[in-house]
Amino acid sequence: MTLKIGIAGAGFSGAVIANELAKAGHQITVYEPRQHIAGNCYSSRDSESNIMQHHFGPHIFHTDKAHIWHYVTQLSQFMPFINRVKAMTQGQVYSLPINLHTINQFFNAQMSPSEAKKFIASQAESSIQQPQNFEEQAHKLIGEQLYQAFFKHYTIKQWGRSPATLPACILKRLPVRFNYDDNYFNHPFQGMPIEGYTPIIEKLLEHPNISLKLNTSFSAAMKAPYDHIFFSGPIDAYFDFQLGRLPYRTLDFQKETHEGDYQGNAVINYCDNSQAFTRISEHKHFTPWETHSSTVIFKEYSREAMPEDTPYYPVRLSGDNSLLNQYIELAKKQEKITFVGRLGTYRYLDMDVTIDEALTTSKLFLESLKNQQTMPVFTTL
């Protein structure tokens, strides 16, 4: 039986589900309020310099899931790319994530891995058993000096809040390496799609069973003609913000064009409060296999999202999920709709997790049809 499926959002969540269900023979309509596809992974070439730009912040593909790496590399050629982030703080340039180079440079020492481990343990506050927030977690793991230099002010700029109000889980694992590995991500599969992310989404939506409506927002009132909806827009927007707005951080990007090489690296974080921006991304360094004489940089400023802003990061404060829980309860009373993706489930999700969840959701949907079961409103919460 062919079903009519409505999908809100043409980012990875919407496009993967559209592709899977179209291949299974269903008729799909994808609604996207923006004038372009690819959601926040949208990339396109700068008309003047021809440099590939990531319009909603730099996106580096990284995963530990072999099946997801296989999935994306079937859709695009990926070039090797390792993100090696630098940090400006207290008038010096350091290597991030904090590693043996950073520790030795910061403490003006020549420690071996085991010496550094002991030293950092001596800096850490061992009296904290169960850290209640980000600040306590940082004190417990790395101590006051590294926290002040690399985390405190960056976190305040990024979240607009005292680290004492943010959940400890933001800094869950040991944020320090006791070797000289400066690969920003730990995952075994890392790379950059040779022509950016937009052609990947284009390919996913390129199916005779999929019709795409750009510049068109999907609302609850448009649900009736469809057998099922997958909604990857903001969950509070679906309910017309009737309980209030879920808080988000948004980003402002200040673009500059220069000649030559501006900062010699793709990403430099500004960890202290000498600058209001959190980082500068120089996008031609994300495609080191290309040659460009000029360069485009983006200074990134974080602030609270207003109703007209693009929502970037959900703000989940420690112990305060009551509004989200109310929306979740409201959503669970709905029929024939599944909320997906970073906005539909109000979580930060990397691209690999987004794709994996969208594939799982599609599979569950097809199985639910086969077994005549009800499709859940959430497949991932």
Ligand X SMILES: Cc1cc2nc3c(=O)[nH]c(=O)nc-3n(C[C@H](O)[C@H](O)[C@H](O)COP(=O)(O)OP(=O)(O)OC[C@H]3O[C@@H](n4cnc5c(N)ncnc54)[C@H](O)[C@@H]3O)c2cc1C
Pick from 137, 232, 338, 379 the residue near ligand X by CB under 6 A: 232
- Does 266 contact ligand X by CB under 6 A? no
Gap between the Cα atoms of 308 and 292, Å rounded: 35
Nearest-approach distance from CB 237 to ligand X, in angstroms: 6
- Does 233 contact ligand X by CB under 6 A? yes
The tokens for 357 are 């969840």
Pick from 97, 175, 314, 341 the residue near ligand X by CB under 6 A: 341
Q: DSSP per residue over 266-277, as a string?
A: SEEEE-STTSSS
Burial of 237 (0-12, 13-18, 19+ CB in 10 A): buried
Let me know if 348 is a catalytic residue: yes
Give the range of 59-67, 148-156, 266-274, 314-322 binding ligand X by CB under 6 A: 59-67
- Does 350 contact ligand X by CB under 6 A? yes
Pick from 146, 343, 375, 377 the residue near ligand X by CB under 6 A: 343
Residue type, 114: S
Give the range of 27-35, 137-145, 359-367, 369-377 binding ligand X by CB under 6 A: 27-35
- Does 218 contact ligand X by CB under 6 A? yes
Give the range of 5-13, 100-108, 139-147, 274-282 binding ligand X by CB under 6 A: 5-13
Distances (CA, A) of 11 to 36, 37, 121, 223: 10, 6, 43, 20
- Does 72 contact ligand X by CB under 6 A? no
- The residues pairing with 176 across neighbouring beta strands, listed in sequence order, are 98
Let me know if 303 is a catalytic residue: no
Which of 117, 170, 167, 162 minimizes the C-alpha distance to 142?
117
Pick from 89, 198, 354, 361 the residue near ligand X by CB under 6 A: 354
Let me know if 245 is a catalytic residue: no
Pick from 85, 98, 120, 237 the residue near ligand X by CB under 6 A: 237
- Does 31 contact ligand X by CB under 6 A? yes
Let me know if 279 is a catalytic residue: yes
Place of tokens 């004492």: 164
Please give the DSSP secondary-structure letter assigned to residue 7. E
Window 272-301: residues binding ligand X (CB under 6 A): none
CA torsion through residues 269, 274, 275, 276, sign: positive
Which of 168, 157, 185 minimizes the C-alpha distance to 277?
157
- Does 33 contact ligand X by CB under 6 A? yes
Gap between the Cα atoms of 259 and 339, Å rounded: 45
Nearest-approach distance from CB 30 to ligand X, in angstroms: 8
Nearest-approach distance from CB 118 to ligand X, in angstroms: 34
Let me know if 300 is a catalytic residue: yes
Active-site entry in 177, 282, 327, 352: 177
Q: DSSP per residue over 165-231, as a string?
A: GS-GGGG-S--B-SSS---S---SEEEEETT-SHHHHHHHH-STTEEEEET----GGG-TT-SEEEE
Give the range of 45-53, 121-129, 233-241, 330-338 binding ligand X by CB under 6 A: 233-241
Contact 105, 94 (CB under 8 A): yes
Gap between the Cα atoms of 350 and 250, Å rounded: 17
Window 82-111: residues binding ligand X (CB under 6 A): none
Binding residues vs ligand X (CB under 6 A): 8-14, 31-34, 39-41, 57-61, 217-218, 232-234, 237, 251, 312-313, 341-343, 349-352, 354
The residues annotated with a catalytic role in the active site are 173, 177, 249, 279, 300, 348, 350
